[in-house]
Amino acid sequence: METQAITRHVQISPQKARLVADLIRGKAAEEAIGILEFSPRRAAKIMVKTLRSAIANAEATQNVDVDRLYVKRATVDEGKSQKRFLPRAHGRATQLIKRSSHFTIVVDERSAH
């Protein structure tokens, strides 16, 4: 039985966060935590918190062996964008778009064959 954890409105570009999600997709939960803890990317710190939350959700709601959990799905969706303006020369302004992301991690128990 799969269990998920969602972290919403994270102030990081989805394009940057997807690079981290690609690293852990399909890996064992403990291996994925190890990969994320040693990754230099900023999204890895948020992703490891979400993964630990998904593991805790699986432990609390289902009767699962934590050692057999793996990352079934790791997705990063686009959240709401903040629009800001940066002053430029001759009284003009340039628009800045500050993107946000929604992280979703689904863990499942591997079959015992």
pLDDT in tens, the chain (113 residues): 899 999 999 999 999 999 999 999 999 999 999 999 999 999 999 999 999 999 999 999 988 989 999 999 999 999 999 999 999 999 999 999 999 999 999 999 988 76
Task: Give residue 28's pLDDT.
Answer: 95
Instruction: Look at the alpha carbons of 12, 49, 25, 58 in this order and tell me if their dihedral is positive or negative.
Output: negative
Residue 34 tokens, joined: 């190890």
Residue 63 tokens, joined: 């009767």
Q: What is the average pLDDT value for the chain, to the nearest integer? A: 95
Task: Give residue 113's pLDDT.
Answer: 63
So where are the chain's domains? 3-109
Task: Give residue 1's pLDDT.
Answer: 84
Nearest to 107 by CA among 35, 40, 42, 33: 33
Nearest to 74 by CA among 9, 11, 12, 4: 4
Residue 4 CA to residue 69 CA, distance in Å, equals 12
As assigned by CATH, the class of the 3-109 domain is: alpha beta
- DSSP annotation string for 68-104: GEEEEEEEEEE---EEEEEE-GGG-EEEEEE--EEEE
